[in-house]
């Protein structure tokens, strides 16, 4: 596991100690993707994960260099799209997760939904937006503490798709809800929706989301693979004194049985 914590991780942790000396991070960008199936059918996945990878303006060249090197490591050509599901070998997936976990420019936040435990709490089909709300809250907290303004881009999903107008409608609705979103820390223009083949950092979000998904979702033999997520643990968003499940790895529904189901999470 990569031991380097990265300067932005250290900056955010330090805010809890010196809240009056929060540094100015400038412009931040969050790239968001998901893993798992949104549907609640009997045969769909038990978990749904939405993940953001955050990078500052000044670190975009470093993030591009990382993706170029990872393509080379995995035998892909320049400009080839990276997709976690296309990495068939375990060693390739470990390498992708481990190298992302060592990138000092990256901050990762995940929201993990236990879908089978949400049916009685949310109307069918609404948990996707609720999951997005949880993630947006955490992104806004990170930007607020870093003294920056954050823009975000969601990966376009074809089935079912969210249009840009629907995203705007939901953002407007959120502004009238009693959320914990720090709107002043988010780009007032709102989020964007784009394709991973056009915005390559969305490929980074795909890797992070899928790595987290495999830590929770059993395969056909009932096995999970927490190692992918553990290799990225140094990059998970956390604030000193705050639980990882409050920031970098939010589990919902938020109840004792959820935390009890994944006792290894507390050790990240």
Answering whether pTM is above 0.85, one says yes
Task: Note whether residue 23 is domain-resident.
Answer: no
Task: Note whether residue 24 is domain-resident.
Answer: no
User: How confident is the model at residue 36, as a pLDDT?
Assistant: 84
Task: Note whether residue 102 is domain-resident.
Answer: yes
C-alpha 89/C-alpha 204 separation (Å) is 18
Task: Note whether residue 198 is domain-resident.
Answer: yes
User: How confident is the model at residue 6, as a pLDDT?
Assistant: 41
User: How confident is the model at residue 47, as a pLDDT?
Assistant: 79
Give, for all 268 residues of the chain, the pLDDT tens digit.
Answer: 454 434 443 333 333 323 333 344 689 999 999 998 766 666 667 779 999 999 999 999 999 999 999 999 999 999 899 999 999 999 999 999 999 999 999 999 999 988 766 655 555 557 788 899 999 999 999 999 999 999 999 998 766 678 899 999 999 999 999 999 999 999 999 999 999 999 999 999 999 999 999 999 988 899 999 999 999 999 999 988 788 989 999 998 777 777 788 888 988 9
User: How confident is the model at residue 256, as a pLDDT?
Assistant: 76
Q: Residue 222: left if φ>0, alpha if ψ -120 to 50, beta else—which one?
A: left
Task: Note whether residue 117 is domain-resident.
Answer: yes
Q: Can the peptide bond before residue 18 be classed as cis, meaning omega within 30 degrees of 0?
A: no
Domain that holds residue 79: 7-18+29-267
C-alpha 227/C-alpha 73 separation (Å) is 20
CATH of the domain at 128: 3.30.420.10
User: How confident is the model at residue 242, as a pLDDT?
Assistant: 83
User: How confident is the model at residue 8, as a pLDDT?
Assistant: 42
Task: Note whether residue 1 is domain-resident.
Answer: no
User: How confident is the model at residue 26, as a pLDDT?
Assistant: 83
User: How confident is the model at residue 50, as a pLDDT?
Assistant: 96
Task: Note whether residue 39 is domain-resident.
Answer: yes
Number of domains forming the structure of the chain: 1
User: How confident is the model at residue 252, as a pLDDT?
Assistant: 83
Rg of the Cα trace of the chain?
A: 17
Contact between 35 and 213 under an 8 Å Cβ cutoff? The reply is yes
Task: Note whether residue 2 is domain-resident.
Answer: no
Cross-strand bridge partners of residue 194: 155
């Amino acid at each position: 596991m990569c031991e380097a914590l990265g300067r932005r991780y250290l900056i955010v942790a330090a805010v809890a100690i010196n809240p009056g000396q929060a540094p100015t991070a400038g412009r931040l960008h969050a790239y968001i993707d998901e893993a798992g199936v949104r549907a609640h059918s009997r045969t769909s996945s038990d978990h749904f994960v939405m993940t953001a990878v955050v990078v500052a303006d000044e670190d975009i060249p470093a993030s591009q260099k990382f993706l170029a090197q990872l393509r080379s490591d995995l035998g892909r050509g320049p400009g080839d799209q990276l997709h976690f599901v296309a990495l068939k070998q375990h060693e390739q997936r470990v390498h992708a997760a481990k190298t992302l976990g060592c990138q000092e420019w990256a901050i990762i936040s995940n929201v993990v939904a236990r879908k089978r435990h949400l049916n009685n709490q949310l109307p069918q089909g609404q948990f996707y937006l609720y999951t997005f709300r949880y993630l947006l809250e955490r992104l806004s907290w990170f930007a607020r503490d870093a003294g920056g303004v954050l823009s975000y881009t969601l990966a376009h999903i074809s089935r079912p798709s969210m249009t840009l107008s629907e995203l705007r409608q939901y953002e407007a609705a959120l502004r009238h809800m009693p959320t914990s979103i720090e709107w002043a820390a988010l780009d007032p223009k709102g989020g964007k929706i784009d394709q991973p083949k056009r915005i390559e950092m969305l490929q980074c979000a795909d890797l992070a989301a899928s790595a987290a998904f495999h830590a929770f979702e059993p395969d056909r033999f009932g096995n999970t693979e927490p190692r992918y997520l553990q290799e990225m643990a140094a990059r998970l968003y956390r604030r000193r004194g705050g639980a990882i499940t409050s920031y970098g790895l939010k589990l919902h529904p938020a109840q004792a049985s959820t935390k009890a189901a994944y006792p290894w999470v507390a050790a990240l």
